[in-house]
């Protein structure tokens, strides 16, 4: 079965911020390469292997088990599987305060 990957507005915003940061601090070519790699190496591989992720460490104590994550170092991609769709919710730099970010985004 092939799942449909849907990138929600927050994750699109995350990708845009990552792109701008890399473009300013490195180059537009590097930013394009990173975004392409994130999409190809992680997002679209989820179409075939959605269960490959794991529950984010920060969410385990809350009992919330419907969010999973995969990594593309240093980024953590938070997603959710619903029926035949995968919703990408966040693309977060793992060096940031993940607990706070997830609390603000997912536990509202």
**pLDDT tens, 19-72?**
999 999 999 999 999 999 999 888 889 999 999 999 998 888 878 789 999 999
Are 15 and 36 in contact by the 8 Å Cβ rule? The answer is no
- Counted domains in the chain: 1
Q: Tell me the residue length of the chain.
A: 108
Partner residues linked to 9 by β-bridges: none
Give CA separation, 51 vs 9, 19, 47, in Å.
Answer: 23, 27, 10
| CATH number for the domain harbouring residue 69 | 3.30.2310.20
Give CA separation, 8 vs 25, 60, 76, in Å.
Answer: 26, 23, 15
Which pTM value belongs to this model? Answer: 0.87
Q: Could you tell me the pLDDT band of residue 107, with boundaries at 50, 70 and 90?
A: low
The whole domain housing 67 covers: 4-106
């Amino acid at each position: 079965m092939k799942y449909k990957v849907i990138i929600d507005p927050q994750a699109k915003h995350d990708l845009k911020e990552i792109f701008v940061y890399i473009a300013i601090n490195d180059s537009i070519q590097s930013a394009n390469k990173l975004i392409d790699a994130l999409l190809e190496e992680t997002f679209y591989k989820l179409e075939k292997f959605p269960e490959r992720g794991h529950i984010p460490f920060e969410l385990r104590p809350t009992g919330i088990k419907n969010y999973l994550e995969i990594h593309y170092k240093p980024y953590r991609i938070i997603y959710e599987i619903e029926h035949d769709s995968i919703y990408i919710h966040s693309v977060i730099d793992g060096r940031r305060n993940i607990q706070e970010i997830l609390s603000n985004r997912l536990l509202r």
